[in-house]
Structure 1
Amino acid sequence: MKKILITGANGMLGTAIAAELIDYTLFVFSSKELDITCSFQLDQKIKNIQPDYIINCAAYTAVDLAESEQEKAFKINAIAVQKMAQIAKQYNATLIHFSTDYVFNGEATVSYLTDQKTDPINVYGASKLAGEKAITQIDGKHYIFRISWLYAPHGKNFFRWVAETDMKELNIVDSQTGSPTSALDVATFIKEVIENDPATYGIYNFTNQGEMTWYAFAKAINQKLGLSKMIQPVAEFKTAAKRPFYSVMNCEKTERVFDYQIPSIEKGLHEVVRRFKS
């Protein structure tokens, strides 16, 4: 039975992945139980467990706060990730790590390929890109999956906010286009990767298939949940961090290499709604 260590296991993605991999020998650690910025802790855990896979779901994800907490963002998303990749290589574990669409500047008009030029426009994106580069330079067994606009029936996310807010009128930005991606679908895919690992290491894009704005996504959530909220489009909100206007990523390479059909945005949302209601 493969041994799998999951960091950041209490977050939205870690929770979904741990639930999906329940049949494996799991070692799950919340960020409180395993601080990935402490190299000694990390080394001890990995040395004692000797996992086949390390799935890193620990990350600094506060996009706006990162603008004023640059050091903290880089410490978690880059420096700690570099150390994790070194330790994973030392103990011959495969590292599965998650990056973001925010490594791109959002000026494209067609979906981004994995090898396209990166050019983050905020600190969060820059810190995640630094993490990617650290892993690839160490050259151990690794998969980096760039995901985007993550949501789930659990945790703190856009879907839950639209579903549960008391506000009857929502003003939602209509100038950013991306691919809302269900953490449940990411988790199902990660199980597939572990079960049928092709050992074709590198960077991949994984998002639900299709594209829409946040406004269109809010309307879809409203409709699927049978809510009657008034949803209005707005051009932009003033935020501390800039957002890419267009961050749709091309996932053809992922589907080909892993022989896997990624579900559409609609299918992903349908399942999240079903789980949320049950």
Structure 2
Amino acid sequence: MKKIIITGATGMLGTAITNALQGHDLYGYSSKELDITCSFKLDQIVKSIKPDYIINCAAYTAVDLAETDQEKALKINALAVQKMAQVANQYQATLIHFSTDYVFNGTATQPYLPLQETDPINVYGASKLAGEKSIAQVNGRHYIFRISWLYAPHGKNFFKWVAGTDMNELKIVDSQTGSPTSALDVSSFIKHLVKNDPETYGVYHFTNQGAMTWFEFAIAINKKLNLDKIIHPVATFKTAAKRPTYSVMDGSDTIQVFNYQIPTVEEGLDEVVRIYNP
């Protein structure tokens, strides 16, 4: 049994990870209970618990709002993360942090490797990359997992929107390609890591294996839930932040280092559909 602090514990990913790690000595904090930008509170909590792991699921994730709220995005995704890495290092805890496919510019034609050149094209991606770099600079025991297109049977996400919207006709972009990734699969992997930690620290990619467009993902959700919605592909949607056109990431390092078979996009969706309760 490990002592584990989970920040952002009531968010989509935090909820899934909390559920997966039952049986460990968990200390979950919602963003209201622990504002990670409050260095003093963070330090006090870690000092009193002395955890084996700090799993950071707290983040600023409003991609479009970040374009005009750069300061807040950087404060949460970079400055607070730097402090968290320092505190984790000070009290000999391993930090598990989640980043994003948005650290890449999306011009690739092959899945991105973890050490490939980063070049974010929006403020959110830049803030997450700054967080990655600040963790690396502290150089404590840390894992950074870049995840993408996260969804779950709970919380606010694309799957829940397609499944729950009253609209019978949907227009979905088909100009972005990525790997929809189930928060349930991420949490199962984190459970495996905590149990079998190889202590091979660094940056890794964890996404469900395979690639599709948002349009194809919506079609798959529609089919598996028997929704009978009419779904039209559209080339673009006007958004404040630019999105990478291609953000598929190569997870072979993760499979090898952690000796873990990552489920496919289809397997991830099947599991979420099975659990989903409208």
Normalising by the residue count of structure 2, what TM-score does the alignment of the two structures yield?
0.99
Show the 5 A alignment for 1:205-224: 205-224=205-224
Taking the aligned partners of 1:61 and 1:36, their CA distance within structure 2 comes to 14
Q: For residue 271 of structure 1, give the secondary structure of its aligned residue in structure 2.
A: helix
Q: Tell me the CA shift for residue 277 of structure 1.
A: 3.5
Q: For residue 153 of structure 2, give the secondary structure of its aligned residue in structure 1.
A: coil
Show the 5 A alignment for 1:41-190: 41-190=41-190
Cα deviation, 1:109-166, whole Å, max 9, x if unaligned, reads 0000000000000000000000000000100000000000000000000000000000
Taking the aligned partners of 2:10 and 2:196, their CA distance within structure 1 comes to 26
Taking the aligned partners of 2:256 and 2:136, their CA distance within structure 1 comes to 21
Cα deviation, 1:161-191, whole Å, max 9, x if unaligned, reads 0000000000000000000000000000000
Partner of 2:22: 22
Cα deviation, 1:28-86, whole Å, max 9, x if unaligned, reads 00000001000000000000000000000000000000000000000000000000000
Normalising by the residue count of structure 1, what TM-score does the alignment of the two structures yield?
0.99
Partner of 2:201: 201
Partner of 1:257: 257
Count of residues in Structure 1 that have an aligned counterpart in Structure 2: 278
- What amino acid sits opposite 1:17 in the alignment? I
- What amino acid sits opposite 1:32 in the alignment? K
Q: For residue 236 of structure 1, give the secondary structure of its aligned residue in structure 2.
A: coil
- What amino acid sits opposite 2:53 in the alignment? Y
Q: In the alignment, is residue 245 of structure 1 matched against residue 250 of structure 2?
A: no
Partner of 1:269: 269
Taking the aligned partners of 1:206 and 1:191, their CA distance within structure 2 comes to 14
- What amino acid sits opposite 1:159 in the alignment? F
- What amino acid sits opposite 1:260 in the alignment? Y
Taking the aligned partners of 2:74 and 2:118, their CA distance within structure 1 comes to 17
- What amino acid sits opposite 1:43 in the alignment? D
After superposition, the CA RMSD in angstroms is 0.6
- What amino acid sits opposite 1:181 in the alignment? T
- What amino acid sits opposite 2:130 in the alignment? A
Q: In the alignment, is residue 37 of structure 1 matched against residue 34 of structure 2?
A: no
- What amino acid sits opposite 1:117 in the alignment? E
Taking the aligned partners of 2:186 and 2:87, their CA distance within structure 1 comes to 25
Taking the aligned partners of 2:275 and 2:70, their CA distance within structure 1 comes to 36
- What amino acid sits opposite 2:230 in the alignment? M
Q: For residue 170 of structure 2, give the secondary structure of its aligned residue in structure 1.
A: strand
Taking the aligned partners of 1:217 and 1:155, their CA distance within structure 2 comes to 18
Q: Percent identity?
A: 73
Partner of 1:233: 233
Cα deviation, 1:232-260, whole Å, max 9, x if unaligned, reads 00000010000000000000000000000
